[in-house]
Copies of this chain bind each other. A is one copy, B any other.
Amino acid sequence: MTTHKLLFAPSMKEIALEEGRSVLDGAREVGVFIDSQCNGEGKCGKCKMRILEGATSPFTPEESEFIGQAERLQGYRLACMARMVGDLSVLIPEENVLSAEASKKIFSKRSAVINPAVKGYAVDLSDNGTDTQQAYFERITAYLESRHEMEGLAIDIEALQNLAPVMRQSTDGLTAYVWMDKEIVAVSPRSDERYFGLAIDVGTTTVALYLCDLEDGSVVASASTTNPQVLFGTDIMSRISYSSHHPNQGVKRMQKELIHSVNALVEQMASNKGLRASQILDVTVVGNTVMHHIFLGIAPDHLGLWPFSPSIQGSVNVKAREIGIEVCPSAYAHVLPVEAGFVGADNVAVLLSEEPYNLDEISLVVDLGTNGELVLGNRERLISCSCATGPALEGAHIACGMRATRGAIEKVRIDPETYEVDYAVVGTVGWASEHPSGELKPVGMCGSGIIDTVAQLFKTGLIGEDGAFRGNDKKTERLRKGRSGVLEFVLASKDGTATGDDIVLTQKDIRQIQLAKGALHGGCRTLMHHLGIETLPRMVIAGAFGMHIDKDNSLIMGLFPWCEPEKIAVVGNAAGHGAYLALVNKEKREEANRIARQVEHIELALEQGFQKEFVRALSIPYKKD
């Protein structure tokens, strides 16, 4: 039987599957969780996914019940109906169930100053004093400049093309939308239309969007999706490599895929909220330096080479249409500044959100995504570095690892007497022990679950300070030799999981986590040495991953240096919040440029002390000499 390669993004799991079998079959075999309530009969529509590359069997009538024309053109299919006819790459959309909750938390925390870069101004041309033979644009600017602090106003070409039709529709007034008091980006014959802005947080793995009302600053919708660039590699180094190996076209392709996803989400949010995408008049964008470059269509090749210089450090204003973002075509996208090659606009946004530069107390701000970015300091001085934590904390390269999406074990406790395991699963409430036995069917474990497990294994003595299983103690049958002869700890046995396989943490997994923690903890220590401090007065943990972690377990396993738990704040997607702040308050844009220039960047690889700190930090807990 002919088999074809089937690749699942974003997990990048791969399987050789017989011709004619469905994508859902393949997902089940390789352990990729796809929801299917009708058991593959094309009746529930839950297994919707997107074809990234390759051909499949023809679109079926069943699918047209759940997939409209627009989605169909974008490659959407039901996994149970799409069958193998050749090599295939598919993207399984992740239901990021916690993102709404998480964003709510951080967005409600502080009230933002509302002073957007784009503002709507009523223009009343009924005034008898106005010379009606004067050109439209000059009449409008004369009105605006005499009433507001504006001078030398320009107008976007598309807005200019639209001026005469708007004048025709309006009897004596219109609304002019002005960007930065400099340029008219849109005109409308109405005076009562709401207008919006879009904050985009481009993560290596996840893209998050916040749609905001620019008049009152309220977030009217938010959404997130997998960054489809995972197809080209799960981490930034592989994206750089893809670009290098595909000169000119590589970056264009990655940019196009990203923008495509953004546009799909924008369209979805707009139609849910009953508004037009053309009412979105401003955009802000954050992301790490590689995402920043790819977003702007700049091949990031040089970011992988010494001295890791970005093409540009300061913020960039570019027309949305130049990038292909389908909002009002005259709108600008404001891309926030980066700090250095590996500390990007996302980190600047985290700082905008947390403002450690306005405090006397020294803060350590940790942003944990696919990379770990650290900033330590206060109003006097800020130093930053990037830690190569690797993807283990996001569940990648871990035997039963997965991202913190539905079905992931996110919290773990192990009874110190019986070694019995209890866990909480993303998408359900409470602990497994509070549900009827076997009701919670986990799919795998995410970073916080892994950290909990390691910490609890250490606490119960099942692993030592060196992270090695004490296999000879035979304390519990959960600790066993796995298929490949490596010791592993069973968290859930196959009769209680969604995949029909045991969920285990292996010795190899623990090593991966130790490397990640070594890099992170070592990075923190190196920054502390630079500022000459021994203990952390205050700590902020940002990033989706941080939302799930247990402070105590993290401190037990020494993920970062000791800090009083009540002085540790877990803030969620602060990068997205920073992008939002720059959207609703233009002053924040200047602040971002100032801060980005001010932060001192340290290249850990060049730091003499780092290697020693890294090795020390491999121990559980951190071993002080």
Contacts and interface: CB of A to CB of B under 8 A. Distances in A.
Interface stretch (A32-40, A199-207, A308-316, A579-587): A308-316
Contacts of A65: none
A134 interface: yes
Contacts of A302: 164, 167-168
A299 interface: yes
A135 B298 contact: no
Copies per assembly:
2
Contacts of A308: 133
B307 A132 contact: yes
A135 B299 contact: no
A161 B296 contact: yes
Contacts of A314: 135, 137-138
Contact of A311 (B160, B307, B310): B160
A157 interface: yes
Nearest to A310: B135
Interface string A157-172: 1001101110110000
11 contacts: A133-B340, A135-B310, A135-B313, A137-B313, A138-B314, A157-B297, A157-B322, A161-B298, A161-B311, A164-B299, A168-B302
Given A133-B308, A164-B301, A157 B313 contact: no
A528 interface: no
B133 A312 contact: no
A108 B154 CA distance: 36
Nearest to A289: B135
Nearest to A136: B311
A229 to B, nearest CB: 17
B157 A311 contact: no
Interface in A141-189: 154-155, 157, 160-161, 163-165, 167-168
Nearest to A321: B322
B164 A312 contact: no
A316 B296 CA distance: 26
Nearest to A301: B164
Interface string A335-356: 0001011000000000000000
B311 A137 contact: yes
A318 interface: yes
A154 B335 CA distance: 14
Contacts of A164: 298-299, 301-302, 311
A35 to B, nearest CB: 40
Given A164-B301, A302-B164, A157 B296 contact: yes
B163 A309 contact: no
Given A167-B302, A302-B168, A312 B135 contact: yes
Contacts of A307: 132-133
Given A157-B318, A161-B299, 15 more contacts: A135-B338, A136-B310, A136-B311, A137-B311, A155-B312, A157-B297, A157-B316, A157-B322, A160-B296, A160-B316, A161-B296, A163-B298, A163-B311, A167-B302, A168-B302
Contacts of A161: 296-299, 311
Contacts of A311: 135-137, 160-161, 163-164
Contacts of A155: 312
Contacts of A133: 307-309, 340-341, 601, 603
Pairs of residues from A and B, 6 with the lowest C-beta to C-beta distance, nearest first: A135-B313, A137-B312, A135-B310, A133-B307, A164-B302, A163-B311
A333 to B, nearest CB: 10
Nearest to A155: B312
Nearest to A255: B161
A298 to B, nearest CB: 5
